[in-house]
Amino acid sequence: MKLQGTKVKNIGKICIITDTTVQKKYSHLEIAKLAIKGGADIIQLRDKHLSTSELIETAKKIAALCRKSKVIFLVNDRVDVALVSDADGVHLGQEDIPVKDARKLLGRNKIIGGTAHDMKEALECDKAGADYIGFGHIYPTASKHKPDKPKGTMMLKKIVGRINIPVLAIGGITPQNLNEVMQTGVHGAAFIGSVLKSSDPVKTIKEIRKIIYAKQ
């Protein structure tokens, strides 16, 4: 098995993705505050509906909060917003700007993550120069419409064994199934619904942190 993280960059193990569609209780900034309080390593701002100006304003606020707390801040999809807000980096889907082009815009020091749904996409992200891969969805999830079937932990383990950069698992991951996920050797995981819909998001993140860091 190839070692995770051979291209050394500080890639956190616990990523909380902000989302105001799966729940209406918390704003993006409030989610960021809760995530930091719980011990998240990465906060990823994701919103498909805000105007660019609103997204930039939100990103700047979260970026300032993350810098103060020494937490990694990534913007989903939008390289322009990441640049203007001076985020730590960006997470790109298969339909977004290619990783190579994003690298030209962001420079070598920013973090660029790429989404992969199969081995081919994962290898392409690695070859293109991504710093990490978000692989999924691992389990059924209601946070985002997924026409394809869940990938499962067996496929996740195969991805981890072939990829030279950190892999973050995503999709339907909860404190209850997290042990199974971490047993694949994956670097970490990203969370949406299991945290944001929790009655106590801070407590849930702390539970996640205990499980993930117990595997070191």
The answer to whether position 3 is within a domain reads no
Residue 5 lies in a domain: no
What's the pLDDT score for residue 148? 84
Residue 4 covered by a domain: no
Q: What pLDDT sits at residue 211? A: 97
Q: What is the CATH number of the domain that holds 41?
A: 3.20.20.70
In a domain, 183, yes or no: yes
191 falls within a domain: yes
Q: Is the CB of residue 16 less than 8 Å from the CB of residue 33?
A: no
Q: Is the pLDDT at 178 greater than 70, yes or no?
A: yes
Bridge partners (DSSP) listed for residue 73: 43
Q: How far apart are CA 86 and CA 144, in angstroms?
A: 27
> Domain tally for the chain?
1
Domain that holds residue 190: 14-214
Query: Average pLDDT of 7-12?
Result: 77
Cut 0.85: pTM above it? yes
Residue with the bigger pLDDT between 8 and 46: it is: 46
| Residues facing residue 136 across a β-bridge | 170
DSSP run (H or E) holding 155:
helix 152-162
